[in-house]
Structure 1
Amino acid sequence: MDLQKKTFVKHDHVENLNETQPPQGSDLPIWKQKELRKLYLMFLFLFLGSTTLGYDASLLNGLQTMNSWQAFFDQPTGSRLGIFGAMPGFGGLFALLFAPYIADGLGRKRGTAIGCIIVVFGSLLQSFPRTGSESKRDAMYLCGRFIMGIGSNISNGTCPLLITEIAHPRHRGKVTTVYNTLWYVGSILAAWVCFGTLQHQIGNIQWVLPTAFQCLMPGVQLLAIWFVPESPRWLISKDRCEEAREILIKYHGNNDPNDEFVRWEFSEIANTLRLENESSGSGWLDMVRTKGNRKRCALIIATANFSQCSGNGLSYINGGLTIWCWLVSLGASFLVDRAGRRVLFLFAGVGMLISFIIWTACSAVYAKTESTASGTAVIAMIFLFYGVAGAAWPGLTVSYTIEILPYNIRAKGLTLCFFFTALSGVFNQWVNPLGLESLHWRFYFVYIAVLVLECLIIFYFFPETKGPTLEEIAVIFDGEQSAAGIAQAKAFEKVIAHRDTKQDA
């Protein structure tokens, strides 16, 4: 199937289907489409879900530099300090048990709101822990961090779904890819807020203020989410078709109820969801029931692991490197529809392999000679390595996962991605230090082998998803006679019938 030309499945009852193009929608730029422009401005508030996650991930590093925080918690070290850092991750893993049911049952908007409320509550518990014995202080602080981890993963399990499912097909790839790159903004913000309070000796307020600041982003998001429209796909799945149609008309059809593109889009979505419900379920076993779904799961697991375990856990990211990573990943997110997903994945994989080999060689030279030149080269290769990695992994990890999944298992598939991302993070935290301690720079050869394998898997198994709508992508995995393929043909039949009616009139 030619993805660029958007050719379509030929059925006996539709003649010359492959020779005719479906409606393409308005070719006006975004700034000339009032309602679409308003929609994408509202997306800025949805992006705060990723920013919140990045803020918390970097907050504890900043707090450890503060004498007031160290004094309040009696200089935590070892396993006690480790549990402080790991607790949001445990909360996030716990949330994965029910996050997809919230997204599918209550909706993308309500799921995001629930996540925001939980994050605010957890942040407040962290900010005002009980005084007294060490156990009492730790219990409330850890409870707050655990709860905040739950809320963050609920919000991040719904926000990108809502963005993907309501964005115009022309811009879906860009806006969804931008979402996860804003993790870096939260990390940068945490560093600067901690730096600002670090300059002032104001008692416990020094660390309480940046901790309580966590409430701001989910608080703003909670207020703004009610102005964002619900996912038309979720509404259709709940038999609220007219609401979905009105949303598509408003934001994708410039308020024109006769817009041919919206007629096509609504029909394709509605038919696909109906046929999916008739032919398959939405449980966890359905993720491995068909060959197409098994391939999807394999790609999701590979994407999650590659995003975390490609050598990027061997170096701590400082402020300058974080800003560099964000700028590169943000720039790359605007190339996903021009260059394509596969090209960016391969560029990142090959670029990481080459820079990592040089990084390893320079580290070997530095270990033997301690020369300034080799040390400088290592730093340069670290920046280059993270730069090329930023071309794919920060943004595409989430956006590629979402778009290769059909609606009935989309929320669960995103949960699978987060689960393996978390496991990969645990690997980085526990295995890498042991490997570096035992083998020093020789441990890097493990990741050279991993990167070679990564490039081969991307080249041979990762399909391109540039161009098609979410429903059309399913045909790549499930074949032309799948629910998506049949729905695609039915939608086109309606467009042809509507065109013929207009011509007869």
Structure 2
Amino acid sequence: MTDEKESTGVPDYLPGPNVPSSTVPWWQQPKLRQLYLMMIILFMASTSLGYDASLLNGLQTMDTWAAYFNDPKGSRLGLFGALPGIGTFTVFLIAPYIADGLGRRTGTAIGCAVIVLGALIQAFPPQSNPDPMYLAGRIIVGVGSGICNGACPLLITEVAHPDHRGKITTIYNTLWYLGAIVAAWSTFGTLENLSGDVQWRIPTVLQAAMPGIQLLFIWFLPESPRWLISKGKLDKALKVLTTYHGNGNADDEFVKWEFAEIRETLRLEQEAASTGWKELVRTRGNRKRCLLIILTAIFSQCSGNGLVSYYLSQVLNTIGFEEPTEQALINGGLTIWCFVVSLTAAFLVDRFGRKTLFMFAGVGMLISFSIWTACSAVYDKTGSPAAGRAVLAMIFLFYGTAGAAWPGLTVAYTVEILPFNIRAKGLTLCTCVAALAGIYNQYVNPLGLDALGWRFYFVYIAILVVECVVIWFYFVETQGPTLEEIAVLFDGDDAPAGRARVGGEKTDQAVSYHEETLAR
């Protein structure tokens, strides 16, 4: 460890936040441009999640799938939807140790391999008794997703340039919708052009495509410099930062400052705290982080969005859109709309801030969902086609406002507020709480829709009211600081970044510097 520190030639303290990063746009810097283009491979982890969610929606429009599985409804259909979340929850304890012990790249690769296996298993169950093999495949997909998405966002956040971290990390989870688009239109294409069991088998097999590509090409990405530093591999970490953040310039002052800040902060974190699960609740700052993570995960899943994400077919049946091809077209169009909105919002995250976007989404969802409920009640009593079309319009508006925050910021906000020593565990906490919320959503929603119809929507109106209040009074804005400096917002001057002086400058000046950089 000592030898490696000396070999980097970088002192402990360097001229700090007054050291500017390059004013050249990222697309004009060859190495940074290369890094961000390679990150498309990492984004596929989120795309795989979206594919799985939309796949079940598309399969429900197919008579061949329904016949093969004896027309699943109610609790059985809910079980089909909930099993990936159950699989994700089963790896709750081991996923962060894979990411922290083996590295972000290796953790991502292991998860991808497991997803591929699960997708192939669920594509070929025997017709005589399809449930056991199909359900096993869906659980395995969830296990792989839990491992993969417990490592991949960490790599994206920790390797991105500080000036672009917010946008890049937020974009990650918006690619969920790209996977949903591929699944929606794949199922529509096979529904329109094929017959028999290949209608549903082909889209199911295609679920293995994106994690398969990611598994092959993940090794072309650099490992997280923060993980490398934590393992004492300082030369390798400095090389990553120099290559991609300094465009290959070993004398780049910003890279030297960034390396020193990361190394010093990690050293102080290791001295001040352990890395076990108890660390998540040991300090007041960490307890607040955990509560924010839990709330973010629950709100991302239980705000009414689960009704359409997994059971669009049942919702459309309640407002007069019952023809399979029509449902498939609506599903495909909705996924494209959601992707465009959420991707646009990702590029605005550093302009408006995280809390503002959360608040906009919460209020917009509450208003649109309330109108959605009212129009559903009118349709239920009158059968008015206009009321049915109004509900459909509100569904699109609901997802448009939700796209301002929840698709991208659920993961981005989680990894931002966590210090390195508990970042993997905190992200796993988010993933598992979201999975548990998803299990509730996927199991309860079809039962609620069957039993109460549109009246079931009042549950989500109440949740949205609570959501808006909590966001306004409790959420913390993280716009501006680096990953290391965000800790000051939760831990004050006791944070490692608050105690580490860089060139005699305090962290609040570093925060000011990055705010100025983002405003350029």
1:239-262 deviation line (CA, Å, top 9, x unaligned): 001100010011001111111111
Query: Structure 1 277/60 Cα, relative in aligned 2: closer, same or farther at 3 Å?
Result: same
Name 1:116's counterpart in structure 2: 112
Name 1:406's counterpart in structure 2: 419
By how many angstroms is 1:468 displaced?
0.6
3-state secondary structure, aligned to 1:97: coil
- Higher mean C-alpha deviation, range 78-87 or range 269-278: 78-87
Q: Distance in 1 between the 2:134 and 2:80 partners? A: 8
Name 2:96's counterpart in structure 1: 100
3-state secondary structure, aligned to 1:38: helix
By how many angstroms is 1:168 displaced?
0.3
Structure 1 runs not aligned, ≥5 long: 1-13, 494-505
Query: Structure 1 60/133 Cα, relative in aligned 2: closer, same or farther at 3 Å?
Result: same
Q: Out of 288, 297, 302, which is 1:309 matched to?
A: 302
Q: Distance in 2 between the 1:222 and 1:287 partners? A: 31
Name 2:18's counterpart in structure 1: 22
1:258-296 deviation line (CA, Å, top 9, x unaligned): 111111111110011111011001111110110000000
8 Å contact from structure 1 (residues 69, 204) kept in 2: yes
Query: Structure 1 441/140 Cα, relative in aligned 2: closer, same or farther at 3 Å?
Result: closer
Q: Distance in 2 between the 1:204 and 1:376 partners? A: 33
By how many angstroms is 1:66 displaced?
4.2
3-state secondary structure, aligned to 2:222: coil
Name 1:231's counterpart in structure 2: 224
Alignment of 1:460-475 (within 5 A): 460-475=473-488
1:378 aligns with 2:391: yes
1:59 aligns with 2:72: no
Name 2:87's counterpart in structure 1: 91
Q: Out of 482, 490, 497, which is 1:484 matched to?
A: 497
Q: Distance in 1 between the 2:63 and 2:455 partners? A: 37
Alpha carbon RMSD of aligned pairs, Å? 2.4
Alignment of 1:46-85 (within 5 A): 46-66=42-62, 68-76=64-72, 79-85=75-81
3-state secondary structure, aligned to 1:376: helix
- Higher mean C-alpha deviation, range 299-308 or range 115-124: 115-124
By how many angstroms is 1:38 displaced?
0.1
Name 2:6's counterpart in structure 1: none
Q: Distance in 1 between the 2:18 and 2:461 partners? A: 45
Q: Distance in 1 between the 2:220 and 2:108 partners? A: 13
1:148 aligns with 2:161: no
3-state secondary structure, aligned to 1:323: helix
8 Å contact from structure 2 (residues 77, 446) kept in 1: no
Name 2:159's counterpart in structure 1: 166
By how many angstroms is 1:169 displaced?
0.7
8 Å contact from structure 2 (residues 119, 137) kept in 1: yes
Alignment of 1:189-268 (within 5 A): 189-201=182-194, 203-268=196-261
Q: Distance in 1 between the 2:385 and 2:69 partners? A: 39
Q: Distance in 1 between the 2:61 and 2:252 partners? A: 58
Name 1:126's counterpart in structure 2: 122
By how many angstroms is 1:488 displaced?
4.6
8 Å contact from structure 1 (residues 268, 490) kept in 2: no
Query: Structure 1 61/443 Cα, relative in aligned 2: closer, same or farther at 3 Å?
Result: closer
- Higher mean C-alpha deviation, range 312-321 or range 38-47: 312-321
8 Å contact from structure 1 (residues 268, 491) kept in 2: no
Structure 2 runs not aligned, ≥5 long: 1-12, 313-330, 507-520
1:183 aligns with 2:196: no
Alignment of 1:325-404 (within 5 A): 325-404=338-417
Name 2:7's counterpart in structure 1: none
Q: Distance in 1 between the 2:133 and 2:246 partners? A: 50
Q: Distance in 2 between the 1:200 and 1:351 partners? A: 38
Q: Distance in 2 between the 1:152 and 1:398 partners? A: 14
Query: Structure 1 195/368 Cα, relative in aligned 2: closer, same or farther at 3 Å?
Result: closer
Which TM-score applies when normalising by structure 1?
A: 0.88
By how many angstroms is 1:356 displaced?
2.6
8 Å contact from structure 2 (residues 78, 443) kept in 1: no
- Higher mean C-alpha deviation, range 83-92 or range 455-464: 83-92
Q: Distance in 2 between the 1:447 and 1:415 partners? A: 26
8 Å contact from structure 1 (residues 284, 412) kept in 2: yes
1:335-385 deviation line (CA, Å, top 9, x unaligned): 001111111111111222222333333334444444444333332222212
8 Å contact from structure 2 (residues 361, 405) kept in 1: yes
1:4-62 deviation line (CA, Å, top 9, x unaligned): xxxxxxxxxx9xx9xx8432310111111000000000000110111111112222333
Higher relative contact order, structure no. (Cα contacts within 8 Å, ≥ 6 residues apart): 2
Name 1:499's counterpart in structure 2: none
8 Å contact from structure 1 (residues 112, 154) kept in 2: yes
3-state secondary structure, aligned to 1:242: helix
Name 2:319's counterpart in structure 1: none
Q: Out of 398, 421, 426, which is 2:434 matched to?
A: 421
Count matched residues: 474
Query: Structure 1 356/281 Cα, relative in aligned 2: closer, same or farther at 3 Å?
Result: same
3-state secondary structure, aligned to 1:255: coil
Query: Structure 1 259/128 Cα, relative in aligned 2: closer, same or farther at 3 Å?
Result: same
Name 1:458's counterpart in structure 2: 471
Query: Structure 1 356/426 Cα, relative in aligned 2: closer, same or farther at 3 Å?
Result: same
Q: Distance in 2 between the 1:408 and 1:127 partners? A: 39
| Percent sequence identity over aligned pairs | 65
Query: Structure 1 492/229 Cα, relative in aligned 2: closer, same or farther at 3 Å?
Result: farther
Q: Distance in 2 between the 1:107 and 1:314 partners? A: 36
Query: Structure 1 491/30 Cα, relative in aligned 2: closer, same or farther at 3 Å?
Result: farther
Q: Distance in 1 between the 2:148 and 2:443 partners? A: 27
Q: Distance in 1 between the 2:234 and 2:261 partners? A: 13
By how many angstroms is 1:64 displaced?
4.2
Q: Out of 30, 38, 41, which is 1:34 matched to?
A: 30
By how many angstroms is 1:63 displaced?
3.3
8 Å contact from structure 1 (residues 348, 391) kept in 2: yes
1:476-498 deviation line (CA, Å, top 9, x unaligned): 001123212122546859xxxxx
8 Å contact from structure 1 (residues 22, 264) kept in 2: no
- Higher mean C-alpha deviation, range 358-367 or range 268-277: 358-367
What amino acid sits opposite 1:243 in the alignment?
K
Q: Out of 258, 273, 284, which is 2:277 matched to?
A: 284
- Higher mean C-alpha deviation, range 32-41 or range 424-433: 424-433
- Higher mean C-alpha deviation, range 350-359 or range 165-174: 350-359
Query: Structure 1 363/160 Cα, relative in aligned 2: closer, same or farther at 3 Å?
Result: same
3-state secondary structure, aligned to 1:284: coil
